[in-house]
Amino acid sequence: MRAFDTFVAIDWSGAKGARHRGIAVALCHGGTAAAPALVAPPGGIWSRTAVLGWLLERCDESMLVGFDFSFSAPFVARGAHLPGDVPTPDARALWRLVDATSDDPDLGAASFLEARRGRHFYMGAADGAKRDFLHWRACEVAGDGSTKPSTVYDAIGAAQVAKASFAGMRLLRRLDGHVPIWPFDAAPSRGALVVEIYTAIAARAAGLRKGRSKIRDAAALDAALAHIGSAPHDPLARYDDHATDAILTAAWLRAHATETALWHPAGLTPQIAATEGWTFGVA
């Protein structure tokens, strides 16, 4: 795998509205153990549109950029992303559908989910039995076969990833053709590359246990960074899960970006690559 000069991790948000405190962008350079630093958002708070603009302005730079949301919905197990809905034969078709049928501000997609609640998305007891909505992508059951991440069809509760993921698909629709998106595209010989990340993978690599992976103070962040070979971070004005997840995961990307096995996971078939995608770090 080619070397990158810069590594970026973006903690994402699917919340309604135009600006989102849940978004954090952390950046570090290769060839050094210096800890990642947060990128200051325009106006003090990131919008999803601002993240898109920031990346498009830098698409020619040698950057590996990780976004913390699911890049697609399950397809292989049922032969469709949204059975009975508009056919989407691959992930790009799903991105187009989400973008064309969502009118939410700032690339939001809450309306897409709400229009399909009870048919595809679980948003409360009125939608029926939650178990009927639980379907996973191949990368989400790879490894030990357990369904650990939340499915994108479950849109209720603190662990849900649905709103962030479908909002993220609107962003991917706009990045498509400007920045390669792995594994839907091959890694380019130059310029930026976008991958899907799961911040819990970085947390496990840093020695943090399941259920105790959230970092909310300087000492814990430095201990986690040291575990993956990074120098201590510069003090933050505010310690929250979004900032620390982004900082730790950017450092993890730098440490693991050249591992061949992560770019060629055993379960990643051409069909899965085109329809479901894959989380970088799941071997």
Taken in order 275, 196, 17, 52, the sign of the CA dihedral is: negative
| pLDDT value of position 89 | 98
pTM of the model: 0.95
Give the C-alpha separation, 49 to 30, whole Å: 27
**Of 94, 84, 64, 99, the residue nearest 262 (C-alpha):** 64
| pLDDT value of position 157 | 79
Given phi > 0 = left and psi -120 to 50 = alpha, else beta, which region is 177?
left
Q: Are 123 and 187 in contact (CB under 8 A)?
A: no
**What are the mean pLDDT values of the chain's consecutive 10-residue runs (283 residues total)?**
94 92 96 92 95 98 98 97 98 98 96 97 96 94 64 86 96 98 96 96 87 81 95 92 96 96 95 98 91
Q: Are 173 and 95 in contact (CB under 8 A)?
A: yes
Q: Are 151 and 133 in contact (CB under 8 A)?
A: yes
Domain boundaries, the chain: 6-70+176-262, 91-174
Q: Are 196 and 70 in contact (CB under 8 A)?
A: yes
